[in-house]
Structure 1
Amino acid sequence: MNIRMSASLIIGVVLMGRRSCNVSFAPNAYVFPGGKVELNDETLPMRLTNLPAGRAPVDFARRIAAVRELFEECGLLAVVNCHNQRCLLSATSDRIVREWHSAISEGHRSLFDMMSANSDNLLLDVRSLKPFSNWLTPFDYAKRFDTYFYVTYVDRCDEIRVFSKEFEEVKWVRPSEILIEAYNGNSILAPPQAYELTRIVHHGLDDLHRLHTDTKICPQLVDAGSEVIALLNGDYAYKYGKNSTNTPIRAISDTERNFREGDRIHRITFAKKPLWSNIKIYSLQ
């Protein structure tokens, strides 16, 4: 199976988008801005970014993809100016930036063209992106993504609107509020988003860089009747080995249903219909 590389960006308050009901992957779910790494992300000259001269970091293309997708989907462009000051330009409120966005979305220009030609000596701000976590879509999904989440901080919450057909809406949300909506069945959160937002609520926005983990998280799915259990790395029922990321969904066993005192619990549960509704995070050690 072809696993697609992708990258997402978690911004401050937090910025999230609700996906359209017409998309094939994660319809109606709230997700972070992001998408697939494209060939142009890999070939964009490093001089158009604020990274220091030298060898490009191994995650260079993922960083470019995260910034590019943020601009394409939400109209927000993360740059630094000639004074090395970070700016978040908004296509919603800035006519010039809106023209840039239109030219790119209509295929008339590329991000490379735009950054090469800008007269303000702006550079893409990829240096401020901090690696956060890495999620691999479970084996049974038709599309699998090896997604790297990054976080960055902004000084203000700019006005935003939808710039992508993939989203029904985009908005700044408080992590605790969107989680409560999801727990009560009023909103749908994709499992990685629900998990990472829970971590943010528990630890606060100021210490996100300390929450970075290099562990690739690949949930193993267990059919529990009306709901699905997504076992995470560290759960006592998680199956390790060379096929740990290629484990088909299985029927729940008595061992997985009736855990004992002292068993480590690290899992996500959610309803089958609508998919990912009534999502819950369990992490007991």
Structure 2
Amino acid sequence: MKNVIGKSWRDAATLIVLTKRSKQSLSRGGVNYEILLQTRTGRGAFPNSVVFPGGVTEDADEDDRWLQLFSLFGYTNRDLESLHHANGPITSILQKNPIRRHISLRITAIRETFEELGILLCSQQHKKQKDGLRADFISNIDVKTWQDRVSKNPESLWNLCEDYKCYPDIWSLHYWSNWLTPATLPKRFNTAFFVTALEEKPELKNYSTEVAFVKWSDPTEILNSSDVKLYPPQSYELTRLSHVKDLDELIEFAKSNSCYGHELVFPVYVKVADGILQILPGDDLYPSDVNDNNNNNKYIDKTILELRENCKTIHRAEYPKSKDIKPVFVIRNYKPYNHIDMGDRKITLQKN
């Protein structure tokens, strides 16, 4: 598995940005927060879809100068080591050097969020001055100029931090999950998902040409919308987030959970008599040894409902051939490792 990932998948990071709702009233789904979502243009990866900001890693994200910069603001090796706990499984994207990967992937998420949306999640505060559960962001800069510079040369993020005496606010980003693009797709990413929260909403007027539209939305609203295109990772994570109604509770959980290992989410497609299943880890049908072959070619001569009825533990998306039947994500008797237990549920999905 490790060799397959090395050959075929590009490392990436994405950031789920949250903020309290402007009004104290609850949303239709009962949550008191909103999520920053962007709609991609018809070009590039995930065209016309609603996604979280993010992109592929660059060598500049792993520069040793970041460690020196953090030390200038009072952060020690112990602070860096706090990003990772040795116990538990280490998913593929963190295996090479977990602590350094936790650092560089957060920098990737911060850099890409700035490139795409013009939001600079950096802090000018010394460690002793930092408190609370919210990330800092800096707005008193020439956003457009620096956005162009960082987009052309990722090393320019270091120059930006040097000029404005700030550092990427990596301790306010919390590791959430690790998704691997199915082997059936031509563009494949090994993506670390992070979660962060802001005290207030920054201006959204400097997004890149890759972004068609940006909005804040509560997870239930976007999940129930019929006119948006969501890929499975976004549908799944929005559903998982919506299971926790209070923002402070959600961020407390994410922070305490961040340094521990999670399962790698590597969807496996299985063709069945009346459609396609997307099987996730923990499902009775999930293969014990995942590779390119069993990710592409398996066929089971039974219907979706037959397989659902004959399995005890279910963690899968079901895509019927019939246009009259909506695809759904089904969870039954599945207990995630070290993450939110959503219980037994059936979630309506959109066809992509």
Q: TM-score range by the shorter chain?
A: 0.7 to 0.9
1:265 aligns with: 314
* Residue 9 (str. 1) matches residue 15 (str. 2): yes
- Residues 1-285 of structure 1 aligned to structure 2 (within 5 Å): 1-12=7-18, 13-23=34-44, 25-43=45-63, 45=65, 46-49=67-70, 52-54=75-77, 57-59=99-101, 60-83=103-126, 84-85=129-130, 86-90=135-139, 94=140, 96-107=142-153, 110-118=156-164, 121-161=165-205, 163-181=207-225, 185-204=226-245, 205=247, 206-207=249-250, 208-209=253-254, 214-224=262-272, 228-241=276-289, 243=291, 247-254=295-302, 257-258=305-306, 259-260=308-309, 263-270=312-319, 280-285=328-333
Q: Distance in 2 between matches of 1:179 and 1:20?
A: 20
Q: 2:13 is paired with a residue of what secondary structure?
A: strand
TM-score w.r.t. length of structure 1:
0.84
Q: 1:246 to 1:223 in 2, by over 3 A?
A: closer
**Distance of aligned partners of 1:226 and 1:9 in 2 relative to their CA distance in 1, 3 Å threshold:** farther
Aligned residues: CA RMSD: 3.0
Q: Distance in 1 between matches of 2:285 and 2:14?
A: 29
AA aligned to 1:102 is D
**How far apart are the structure 2 equivalents of 1:40 and 1:109?**
5
| Cα separation, partners in 2 of 1:140 and 1:89, compared to 1, 3 Å | same
Percentage identity across aligned positions?
32
Give the structure with the higher percent strand.
1
Question: Higher helix share goes to which structure?
Answer: 2
Q: After superposition, what is the alpha-carbon deviation per residue over 1:41-63, rounded to whole angstroms, capped at 9, x for unaligned?
A: 11152233468233852322111
Secondary structure (helix, strand or coil) at the match of 2:198 reads coil
Shift of 1:265: 1.4
* AA at the equivalent of 1:260: E
Contact 1:139/1:246 (CA < 8 Å) preserved in 2?
Answer: no
- What is the Cα deviation at residue 271 of structure 1? 7.5
How many angstroms does 1:33 deviate by? 0.6
User: Alpha-carbon deviations, 1:232-271, whole Å to 9, x = none?
Assistant: 1111211112538962143343175412266211112458
Is the CA contact (8 Å cut-off) linking 1:19 and 1:167 kept in structure 2? yes
Matched pairs, number: 273
Q: Is the 8 Å Cα contact of residues 191 and 279 (structure 1) preserved in structure 2?
A: no
Structure 2: distance between partners of 1:216 and 1:95: 38
Given the two structures, how large is their TM-score scaled by the length of structure 2?
Answer: 0.69
Q: Would you say the 8 A contact 2:14–2:192 is kept in 1?
A: yes
Q: Which stretch of structure 1 is more off in the superposition, 96-105 or 216-225? A: 96-105
The letter for the 2-side match of 1:253 is D
Question: Counterparts of 1:262 and 1:157 in 2: how far apart (Å)?
Answer: 45
8 Å CA contact retained: 1:140, 1:249: no
**C-alpha separation between the residues in 2 aligned to 1:249 and 1:170?**
38
Gaps of 5+ in 2: 1-6, 19-33, 81-98, 334-352
Alpha-carbon separation, structure 2, partners of 1:68 and 1:97? 13
